Amino acid sequence: MAIYKILDILVDNAMLMIDVIDESLESLEDDILAGEIEEEAVQKNIYNARRTLNRISKLFIQETDIINKIYHNLDSKTKKELKYEFGDLKEHAKFLINESKTLLDRTGYLLNMHMGMLSNRMNQAMQRLAAISIIFMPLTFIVGNYGMNFDNMPELHTKHGYFIVTGVNIVVAFFIFIWLKRKKWI
């Protein structure tokens, strides 16, 4: 029967599309984990996969209804002859619906994974900025004290006072840098 052949071809082609989408999602996952893909490309690929999977799911929900209507409108002799074929079509359509929903969930997981990795990168950048701020905070305090116009600071009237304060600043910055290095902030 020609209608069965057409429906079978549609189902088989959709199964190939599901396989292609599955492989592309695996590739996308590898690229996300390796950090080899741009953020915009990841979001576009995930969006396109989600849109395609939604369309496949909706299409095969409708196709299942069409298969049922066609089968129930056949005469009893043809129903007996094509009973297993139409049963096979229904099973494949259910498989496609379930598989597209599973892959749709996977795209959500990939999007969450991508956003998590972006968040981690942002946190690392903020951590480095905080580390730089920690290094310069005590130096700013020391410089601020010496920026006041007081005459009775001992280093002001010493021959090497400027070099002593500069040396203290360098030592403080060095020890803070070493401490941050041990904490793996830098």
Of residues 116 and 186, more confidence is placed in 116
Mean pLDDT rounded to a whole number for the chain: 87
- Give the pLDDT confidence score for residue 122 in this predicted structure: 92
- Give the pLDDT confidence score for residue 157 in this predicted structure: 76
- Give the pLDDT confidence score for residue 178 in this predicted structure: 94
Q: What is the pLDDT of residues 122-179, one digit of tens each?
A: 998 999 999 999 999 998 988 887 777 777 776 677 788 788 888 988 999 999 999 9
Burial 37-57 (b: 16+ CB within 10 A, else e): beeeebeebbeebbebbeebb
Describe the crossing of helices 2-34 and 83-146 by its angle, rounded to 10 degrees.
20
Q: Residue range 108-135: average pLDDT?
A: 90
pTM equals 0.66
